[in-house]
Structure formats: C-alpha cells, structure tokens
Structure 1
Amino acid sequence: MQQIQEFVTNHPLLWGALLAALIALAVTEAMRMFKGQRPIPATEAVRLMNVEDAIVVDTRSAADYKKGHILNAKHIPMAGIDERAGEITKNTDRTIICYCGIGNVAPQAVVKLRKQGYAKVYALKGGINAWQGDGMPVTSK
C-alpha cells in the first residue's frame, strides 16, 4: 500500500492520466448503456431473429459478404448505410440487427439508423467472427 502512495506522490501526471482514462471509459460505457447501444450476443440475436423476425444487415464489403454471411442477411456496406437505409425496411419499428467483421463498425451503423428513425436497432457483439466462434451457421449463397 505504501508503494502505491509513493507512486502517486512521485508521478502525479501518470496517476492523473490513468484516472482520466478510467473516467472516460466509465462515461462512454454509461452513455452506451443509456442510449441502448450495447451490442447483443449471438444468442440474443438468434432470439430476436426467431421471435421478432428481425432483419439482419451485413455492413462489410462485398468481397467479405460473398465469402460468408448470416442466412438471409441484407448486404448494405457501411459506406452506403445512410443512402440505402430505406432498402432495409420501411417499417421503423421493425427490429434490425447490424453486424460487421469483428464488431467495431456495426455500432456506427446502429447510430446512423437510429438517427433516421429506426427504433429497435442492435449491433452484433463481436461481429461475424464471434457468430462463427459460437458455432452459428453462415452461408455463401
């Protein structure tokens, strides 16, 4: 314990930077939870697909989509999500699940679709890599 106090005393800038980073992380996570932007795991996505007939949107490149995608997923690359949002569904109350490769791009698509009025939009946690890691099927057709 004395070493920690000594470290804080001798390195206030490092300690302050660590504290600032932890606070920023906590605020970011709190905002994601408050806005409902927490990515959902594959099991929850399957439940939404079965129970609520969720629409699945693949935001990856065309080449990645052709290699393998979730069955019945609509391919709308992230670059065109604003212009092509109407192709997903006209019903803004319909459940939509967006996914990408590793889960870092789909949350951005969620934000853009929510700004366009879609209420129930979720990102797949870990993207298609996590989906396949959980043993879920993909297709290349």
Structure 2
Amino acid sequence: MVDHLIAFATSHYLLVGAFVILLALLIAHEVSRGGRSVSTGELTGLVNRDEGVVIDIRPAKDFAAGHIVGALNIPQDKLMARIAELDKHKGKTLILVDAAGQHSGTHARELLKAGYNAAKLSGGIATWRADNLPVVK
C-alpha cells in the first residue's frame, strides 16, 4: 500500500505538489476564519480573574441540558440582534462556546469587528466535558 503511494507521488509530483499547496491554503483559511482560540484552562483563568465572560451560543434546549457555570445563553442566530446585551462586558474577553467549536469562531470574528474582545473555546463544550470540568443543568 505504502509502496503504491510512494510510486504514485514520484510519478505525479506536480499533482501531489498542487494537492499539498491547496491543502495548506485550506488549512490557513480555516485557521484565519476561526479567530483566537482559548483552552479550557485559559477560559477558567480568565473567568476566575474576572477578565472573561462565557457566552454559550447553542440553542436554549442544549444550554439547559448542561452549560459552563455562569455562562450567558445567546443562541448564535440571535447573537448580533442581541449584541447590546454584551455592552456591559465590553472590557472583558467574550469567550464563545458552541457544541464542538465549529461555529463559534465565525461569531467571534463578528464580535471583533463590532469592537469587542472575543475568542472561542477550542473544541466547544465537548472539550470542556472531555476534560471532566463541571457543567450546570
């Protein structure tokens, strides 16, 4: 199997080179689109120092099933319409949390454009739970 792959790569080096370049561009685009990420430890530190506010952008039903202590629930489809609610937290880092970290980066970039300091929790609530950190129901 590996022999076939090596033979293909050496025979079609231009095709393989183009694939590698496109893959690198795709990865770079996704990283830049996602905004700044924080780990569960960084999130905990920011909140404990009163420098961060957790904004859970999952639907209310998912939020009710379990969320990070002290998190505010503003579903992602209503985030920009309810942005005025975040004005009192303008001096803090708004840490957006979704199910698996797939959508929060896009919304964090929107908040950055609106003048807020925003980041996303890397891996979302799934990573929080995987690290055995507490959730409130």
Does TM-score exceed 0.5, indicating one fold?
yes
Is 1:77 the equivalent of 2:78?
A: no
Q: Give 3-state SS (helix, strand or coil) of 2:122's partner.
A: coil
The residue number in structure 2 matching 1:89 is 87
The residue number in structure 2 matching 1:68 is 66
Contact 1:98–1:123 (8 Å) recurs in 2: yes
Between Structure 1 and Structure 2, the one with more strand by share is 2
Identity rate, percent: 34
The amino acid of 1:132's aligned partner reads R
Contact 2:53–2:89 (8 Å) recurs in 1: no
Cα distance in 1 for residues equivalent to 2:129 and 2:136: 11
Note the alpha carbon deviations across 1:65-89, whole angstroms, 9 max, x for none. 1101111111101101111111123
Extract unaligned runs of 5+ from structure 2.
none
Q: Residue 106 of structure 1: which of 90, 104, 111 is its match?
A: 104
Deviation at 1:12, TM superposition (A): 4.8
Cα distance in 2 for residues equivalent to 1:4 and 1:136: 43
CA 1:25 to 1:79, structure 2 compared with 1: closer, same or farther past 3 Å? same
Note the alpha carbon deviations across 1:108-133, whole angstroms, 9 max, x for none. 11011111110x21100110110011
Q: TM-score, normalised by structure 2?
A: 0.83
The amino acid of 2:107's aligned partner reads A
The residue number in structure 2 matching 1:132 is 129
Cα distance in 2 for residues equivalent to 1:58 and 1:45: 13
Extract unaligned runs of 5+ from structure 1.
none
The residue number in structure 1 matching 2:21 is 20
CA 1:17 to 1:139, structure 2 compared with 1: closer, same or farther past 3 Å? same
Q: RMSD over aligned Cα, in angstroms?
A: 2.5
Cα distance in 2 for residues equivalent to 1:134 and 1:47: 15
- Aligned residue-pair number: 135
Cα distance in 2 for residues equivalent to 1:86 and 1:26: 33
Cα distance in 2 for residues equivalent to 1:125 and 1:5: 35
